[in-house]
Amino acid sequence: MSKPVILTGIRSNEEPTLGNYLGAFLPIVKMQQEFAGDYQINMFVPDLHSFTTPVDHSSLYQNTLNNLKYFIASGLNINDQDTFIYRQSYIPAHSELTWILDCFTYVGEMSRMTQFKDKSNEHSESVTVGLFNYPVLMAADILLYGAKYVPVGEDQFQHLEITRDIATRFNNKFGDIFTIPDATGDQTKFIKRDSGLRIRSLTDPTKKMSKSNEDPKSKILLSDTPDEAIKKIMSATTDSVGAVNFDWDNQPGITSLLQILAMITGRPRDEVNAQWQGNTMYGEFKKAVAEAVAGFLTDFQARLNAIDDDTLMNKLQASEAAMSEVANATLLKAQVAVGLRPKVN
């Protein structure tokens, strides 16, 4: 019997941030460590998703390879035989299944996607069909491999829900073609969290930390030097309450820093909150967060620099060959279902 699949993807449109690391890289790496042997891990770069909004195309190919290295620097063990790393565009079944799913997806439901609405406001003069269609490609990414768990940040929950809706609709019409990923609530429990994760912007903690935010002070990049990260955290927006409290409503900046501190050090949230609760020295608190993040970046970047290009390429090519077979088998089932290929008895 094949093993249940845990799958996630990180676009290569911009340098990944600490939000990407905590929201997607770290959870899947932890799952790999915890469940080695029992699950298949698919960690891929959705390179086709990476230019739904404008990018510098001259660096896209290299950024994609860099992202793959970031997986390894995050602790992903690529020697594990149940772990696969790949580039979406190297497995054409992603694009082909997208077209089929497009024809079972309604414009009305797609128009409700908040990420599309937000991004199309930012790029209002040049909103592409690719940006609109992005969740269907994401559904194909997930359904091709029958993924059960898809560790993502909270901003992607709506896309997971639409994946479930499209797959359920397709199965209701054609029989048991796709494995439906677990509901986001169950996925969150599986990774032992009580809610989805949204690491906040350092300059406006009511918003998420986003790699596409043009203000460098709003985000910590995984390529920032430890000194740059320290400066950004020391100047992060907080509040005038004057004492540290874990309180998303009234002190989102401080609360976000508490969350970062707990996650980056791997300490229980309650323990970290109790240590700092009521402390009136914001500078001292920020310094502790800044040093923890700087220490993490130093180790992360040392691991990044130690990655051997040939080892990466060998794993990548072997994974792409193996995952093409899996993806093509699912695609064929869908093609047979809709009448593009003959039924085999």
Q: What does the binding site for ligand TYM look like in residue numbers (CB under 6 A)?
A: 7-11, 19-20, 22-24, 46, 49, 138, 141-142, 150, 152-153, 155-156, 159, 197-199, 208-209
Is there a contact between 132 and 116 (Cβ–Cβ < 8 Å)? Answer: yes
For residue 53, count other CB atoms closer than 10 A to its CB: 19
Q: Which lies closer to ligand TYM via its Cβ, residue 274 or residue 296?
A: 296
By CB atoms closer than 10 A (0-12, 13-18, 19+), residue 234 is middle
Minimum distance from residue 162 beta carbon to ligand TYM (Å): 11
Q: Which lies closer to ligand TYM via its Cβ, residue 164 or residue 198?
A: 198
Please say if 231 is a catalytic residue.
no
For residue 238, count other CB atoms closer than 10 A to its CB: 20
Q: Which lies closer to ligand TYM via its Cβ, residue 20 or residue 32?
A: 20
Minimum distance from residue 148 beta carbon to ligand TYM (Å): 12
Q: Which lies closer to ligand TYM via its Cβ, residue 230 or residue 260?
A: 260
Please say if 232 is a catalytic residue.
no
Q: What are the structure tokens assigned to 286, written together?
A: 């920020």
Minimum distance from residue 100 beta carbon to ligand TYM (Å): 17
- Rounded to whole angstroms, how far apart are CA atoms 345 and 342? 9
Minimum distance from residue 176 beta carbon to ligand TYM (Å): 22
Name the catalytic one among 119, 148, 219, 232: 119
**For tokens 């790029």, what's the residue?**
123
Name the catalytic one among 207, 211, 217, 333: 211
Minimum distance from residue 134 beta carbon to ligand TYM (Å): 7
Q: Which lies closer to ligand TYM via its Cβ, residue 150 or residue 316?
A: 150
Minimum distance from residue 10 beta carbon to ligand TYM (Å): 4
Q: Which lies closer to ligand TYM via its Cβ, residue 10 or residue 258?
A: 10
**For tokens 């249940």, what's the residue?**
4
Q: Which lies closer to ligand TYM via its Cβ, residue 5 or residue 294?
A: 5
Tell me the residue number closest to ligand TYM, measured at CB.
23
Minimum distance from residue 341 beta carbon to ligand TYM (Å): 25
Please say if 211 is a catalytic residue.
yes
Catalytic site positions: 119, 208, 211
